Amino acid sequence: MEPRKISPVVQQAVDHYIDQSQTLNQHTENQSLQSLRAKAQMLFADRAFPTQKDEDWQYTKLRSFTQNHFKSQPAKHLTLEQVNQFLPDFPVTKVVFVDGWFNEALSDDLGALPKQASFESYADVTEQTGDFHKLYEHEDDVAKEPFGLLNSCLAADGFFFELEANATLETPLFILHIQTNALQSVQVRNRIDVDENAEMTIVERYVSLDPNQSEAAFTNVVTQIDVAKYARVRQIIMQEQHENAFYFNNQYVFQQDHSNFITFFGSTGSLISRHQNHLWMNGEHIETEQNSACLARNNQTVDSRTDTQHNDVWGLSQQLHKYVLADSSTGVFNGMIRVDQKAQKTDGQMDNGNLILSNKARMDTKPQLEIYADDVKCSHGSATGQIDDKQIFYMQARGINKSDAIRIITHAFLLEPTESISNDGIRAWVVSRLSNGLEKINH
């Protein structure tokens, strides 16, 4: 293949990030980590940022992103009160990151976690040459994603969390990312290991201190989650950064026999928000649920992707992705269910519903199936449309005025995926966050 043409603007951005990665390498003594980053730099220099000609990026336009040169800056000082306004109303163990830097003082005392649970920051993990691989275990897969690769170049903080076998973490772990600085580059690398028969809930929230900030910011996360045999993991992610921010998240989830993993992604913020689940179902009788509720207005782009690999028998995967698009926003959904020849008796369901509220909004969706086993039940469905006039009429006939009727229908439509959240407190909180986003939409 002939070398791709890179525009000067993109080339500048690429050089800028490679520079940053090299600076980062000068400040670490871990030689293995240095060579890992150097390798990532080479790949990144070669591939640069994807363009609309790349199959997976044709609907997500990066022009507004590459124009900025995001910097890695020290975190602003925040008071506890400033942080606590972002806490949910149910009990949690909070872990606070400010501008991508783990802040021990603002976080709860992690020493007080049950003894079966351990939390180590990125710095702790990478100090030990032997241990740092835990955060970089699947580099080949990560490098396939442009922003995963960039994260390999630039990641400078994050955490490693492990829950030992048979333990149950009663209080959800709440990972709070607060963005404060203009043009901040947040590069986080995490790993969560949930050992055999252990159970936990993770809640992640991405917010901006100033919701009206006009300068861009860039959050780029890579998380590996290992769900061991019989383990049960619930994950809720709320992305509510200010509307000039960028959000990219790649999650790599590895499941073993009889494990259960349920993840929910809610998105109301950021100019471009792209959330990707890469899921390997590497065992028998695995159950998985991936849901998302995405809301976009103005010029926002919200992109949610799932790649579900059924690699063994009796797997069950379910997905429901709902989008509400207002103004000139763009929604993108891309789902892939791949069923290996070995994965007989698979049940894979994927559903995507989109509500378009404005004539300038657009929705691009690509629900895919790739099936190599014959005794399977797989289906996908996708529907896009506007609110049915009959529904509005029905409500008006019962004395509900038109704008309320539209609001009620839109709410009900968007909130359907939250029904999979079994904890009442968490569900109520997610519903209130999404409702808050819906209030901002002009009907």
Partner 1 sequence: MVEAAKITDLTHDAPFESQYEEIDELLSKKQFYKEGFITNTNVETFAKGINEDVVRAISEKKNEPQWMLDFRLKALKVWQSMEEPHWAKAEYEPLDYQDYSYYSAPECGSCAGECNTDEAGEPEIDPEVAKAFAELGVPIEGNSEVAVDAIFDSISVSTTKREELAKLGIIFCSFSEAVQDYPDLVQKYIATVVPVGDNYFAALNSAVASDGTFVYVPEGVHCPIELSTYFRINEAKTGQFERTILIAEKGSYVSYLEGCSAPVRDTYQLHAAVVEVIVHEDAEVKYSTVQNWYPGDEDCHGGILNFVTKRGICEGDNSKLSWTQAETGSAITWKYPSCILKGDNSIGEFYSVALTNRHQQADTGTKMIHIGKNTKSTIISKGLSAGFSDNTYRGLVKILPSAEGARNFTQCDSMLIGDKCGAHTFPYIEVGNSSAQMEHEATTSRIGEDQLFYCQQRGISEQDAISMIVNGFCKDVFSELPLEFAQEAEELLAISLEGSVG
Q: Build a one-symbol-per-residue string for 378-397: x at contacts with partner 1 by CB under 8 A, - elsewhere.
A: xxxxxxxxx-----------
Instruction: Name the phi and psi angles at 244, rounded to 5.
Output: -115, 5
Q: What is the CA radius of gyration of the chain?
A: 21
Residue among 153, 302, 356, 426 that touches partner 1 (CB under 8 A): 356
Residue 218 to residue 223: CA distance in whole angstroms: 16
402-415 and 389-396 helices cross at what angle (nearest 10)?
Answer: 120
Q: Which residues make Cβ contacts (< 8 Å) with residue 119, sequence separation at least 6?
A: 95, 110, 113, 159, 160, 161
Residue 379 to residue 369: CA distance in whole angstroms: 8
Contact between 5 and partner 1 by CB under 8 A: the answer reads: no
Enter the tokens of residue 170. Answer: 């009663």
Of 55 and 140, nearer to partner 1 (C-beta) is: 55
Contact 283, 229 (CB under 8 A): yes
Strands (E), 340-424: 347-356, 362-371, 377-385
Residue among 63, 124, 372, 440 that touches partner 1 (CB under 8 A): 372
What residue type is 434 in one-letter code?
A: L
Contact between 365 and partner 1 by CB under 8 A: the answer reads: yes
For residues 44-83, which are near partner 1 according to CB under 8 A? 55, 59
Residue 202 to residue 119: CA distance in whole angstroms: 13
Contact between 367 and partner 1 by CB under 8 A: the answer reads: yes
- 80-84 long-range contacts, CB within 8 A, separation 24+: 80/106, 82/178, 82/209, 83/176, 83/178
Residue 360 to residue 327: CA distance in whole angstroms: 6
Least Cβ distance, residue 212 to partner 1 (angstroms): 28
Contact 96, 106 (CB under 8 A): yes
Of 127 and 347, nearer to partner 1 (C-beta) is: 347
Residue 37 to residue 114: CA distance in whole angstroms: 34
Q: Judged by CB under 8 A, how many residues of this single chain contact partner 1?
A: 36
Taking CB under 8 A as the binding criterion, the range among 91-99, 195-203, 364-372, 394-402 that sits at the site for partner 1 is 364-372
Taking CB under 8 A as the binding criterion, the range among 195-203, 302-310, 375-383, 408-416 that sits at the site for partner 1 is 375-383
Closest of 403, 325, 413, 312 to residue 362, by C-alpha:
325
Least Cβ distance, residue 59 to partner 1 (angstroms): 8
Three-state DSSP at 151 gives helix
Least Cβ distance, residue 348 to partner 1 (angstroms): 9
Residue among 156, 173, 175, 361 that touches partner 1 (CB under 8 A): 361
Of 55 and 81, nearer to partner 1 (C-beta) is: 55
Least Cβ distance, residue 4 to partner 1 (angstroms): 14
Contact between 376 and partner 1 by CB under 8 A: the answer reads: yes
Least Cβ distance, residue 259 to partner 1 (angstroms): 24
Least Cβ distance, residue 328 to partner 1 (angstroms): 11
Least Cβ distance, residue 356 to partner 1 (angstroms): 4
Contact between 360 and partner 1 by CB under 8 A: the answer reads: yes
Of 140 and 374, nearer to partner 1 (C-beta) is: 374
Taking CB under 8 A as the binding criterion, the range among 162-170, 216-224, 265-273, 376-384 that sits at the site for partner 1 is 376-384
For residues 324-353, which are near partner 1 according to CB under 8 A? 341, 344
Taking CB under 8 A as the binding criterion, the range among 220-228, 235-243, 264-272, 373-381 that sits at the site for partner 1 is 373-381
Closest of 70, 37, 11 to residue 156, by C-alpha:
37
Which residues sit opposite 93 in a β-bridge? 173
Residue among 89, 370, 396, 419 that touches partner 1 (CB under 8 A): 370
Taking CB under 8 A as the binding criterion, the range among 199-207, 360-368, 409-417, 428-436 that sits at the site for partner 1 is 360-368
* Interface residue list for partner 1 (CB under 8 A): 55, 59, 341, 344, 354, 356-386
